[in-house]
Copies of this chain bind each other. A is one copy, B any other.
Amino acid sequence: MTMDEMKLIGYWSSPLALRIEWSLKLKGIDYEYVEETEPRKSPLIAKYNPIKKQIPVLVHDEKPIPESLIVLEHLDEISTDQNKLLPEDPYERARARFWAKFVTPVLVGSFSKQGEELEGAVKEAGEALRTLEQALGGKRFFGGDDVGFVDVAAGWFAYWVPIMEDILGLKIIDEKEAPALKKWFGEFLDLPCVKERLPAREKLVSHLRDLRKARMSG
């Protein structure tokens, strides 16, 4: 769709990098994927994201754009009317941005906690997911009939929530409490562009287990 040079610097287990990859694929934009082995220390990240020193970064014609939601906005601005992630109506755009911001910290809190603190964080994550259930309403996707900004922003929950439940040994959300969200989990994971860029489950589980152990002792 574009002749510009697009390079995504990501890390295989990063849901924020996945947001960008899914968007690029949905929009049919060609890109080169660059895997960072040391996301926080690499010379590439020092060059392209010296302020935050984080992946993901989209490098568009050698111009670096960090922050996944800002990248999604950028991709929407440079793409044609087809496959826009944000809706057209200004109020609906504001709502989509609100939800995308809302979902970003969910799950993060529970990751390095244990005992009562963990239970509190899991309860909070569950509440956030029930709120999303309401936001989804009767729609197929948050974007309506098609995948939109909030779907791409929150899509990683579909894969990560059951995995986190396994790792933590706690239920984050009961299927009965969020039937629409669970249905959406299935629909989202079934999208070809999503399916082809998910990390292998076992590898991710073992990586997240190690990460959790390291954070709790650190």
Contact B90 A77, beta carbon cutoff 8 Å? yes
In the complex, A67→B94 CA distance in Å? 9
Contact B97 A67, beta carbon cutoff 8 Å? yes
Q: Which residue of B lies closest to A135 (CB)?
A: B51
CB within 8 A of A94: which of B51, B65, B102? B65
When distances are taken between beta carbons in the complex, the residues of chain B under 8 Å from A33 are none
Contact A98 B63, beta carbon cutoff 8 Å? no
When distances are taken between beta carbons in the complex, the residues of chain B under 8 Å from A83 are none
Q: Which residue of B lies closest to A52 (CB)?
A: B102
In the complex, A98→B67 CA distance in Å? 7
In the complex, A98→B54 CA distance in Å? 13
Which residues in A have some Cβ–Cβ distance to B below 8 Å?
51-52, 60, 63, 65-67, 70-71, 73-74, 77-78, 90-91, 93-95, 97-98, 101-102, 131
Q: Which 7 A-B pairs have the closest CB atoms?
A: A77-B90, A65-B94, A74-B94, A70-B97, A63-B91, A78-B90, A70-B94
Give me 5 other A-B pairs in contact (C-beta within 8 A), A74-B90, A74-B94 excluded: A52-B102, A67-B97, A70-B101, A74-B93, A77-B93
